């Protein structure tokens, strides 16, 4: 997979072992006050294999270490996002005052197959049995 580094000081992306998602690093030191938002550059861009997209999520420890959440919950990197300036970003919302240092590992990604072409057919009724509203199966 082709990868471009927008910053030469961060560590190179490594695949640790089969199956594991791949960690990505902040490409600049970012200081945020509680309630602030910033798109944190991840310092990389990639040409994903044809038919694949990438999904980016925070590391499990990201909130514990940095007090930020990812505002889109999951970042979708489209296959077409592969131009020379198409750097990946982490949209961060701070719930406390925090500093993320350059090169800190803040999120992880994997690639997934893109969904097949979909044709929508409008109908008046759906034929299946109603499943019930959200939460209808209870909590136990």
Distances (CA, A) of 129 to 125, 132, 140: 11, 9, 23
- Helix and strand numbers, DSSP H then E, in the chain: 1, 11
97 annotated active-site: no
> Which segment (24-32, 75-83, 112-120, 128-136) binds ligand DUT by CB under 6 A?
75-83
DSSP 3-state assignment of 62?
Answer: helix
Nearest to 77 by CA among 104, 109, 100: 109
The residue within the footprint of ligand DUT, chosen from 29, 72, 99, 112 (CB under 6 A), is 72
Nearest approach in angstroms of CB 56 to ligand DUT is 5
Q: How far is the CB of 41 from ligand DUT (least distance, A)?
A: 9
Q: Which of 129, 22, 41 is nearest to 85 (CA)?
A: 41
The CB-of-88 to ligand DUT minimum distance in angstroms stands at: 4
- Interaction residues for ligand DUT, span 76-105 (CB under 6 A): 76-78, 81, 88-89, 91
From the list 78, 86, 97, 127, the catalytic residue is 78
Residues annotated catalytic, as ranges: 78
């Amino acid at each position: 997979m082709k990868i471009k580094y927008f910053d030469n000081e961060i560590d190179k992306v490594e695949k640790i072992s089969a199956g594991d998602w791949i960690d990505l690093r902040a490409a600049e030191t970012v200081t945020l006050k509680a309630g602030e938002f910033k798109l944190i550059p991840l310092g990389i861009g990639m040409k994903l294999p044809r038919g694949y997209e990438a999904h980016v999520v925070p590391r499990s420890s990201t909130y514990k270490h940095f007090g930020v959440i990812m505002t889109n919950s999951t970042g979708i990197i489209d296959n077409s996002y592969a131009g020379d300036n198409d750097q990946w970003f982490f949209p961060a919302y701070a719930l406390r005052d925090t500093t993320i240092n350059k090169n800190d590992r803040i999120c992880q990604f994997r690639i997934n197959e893109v969904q097949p072409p979909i044709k929508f057919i409008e109908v008046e009724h759906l034929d299946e049995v109603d499943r019930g509203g959200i939460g209808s199966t209870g909590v136990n």
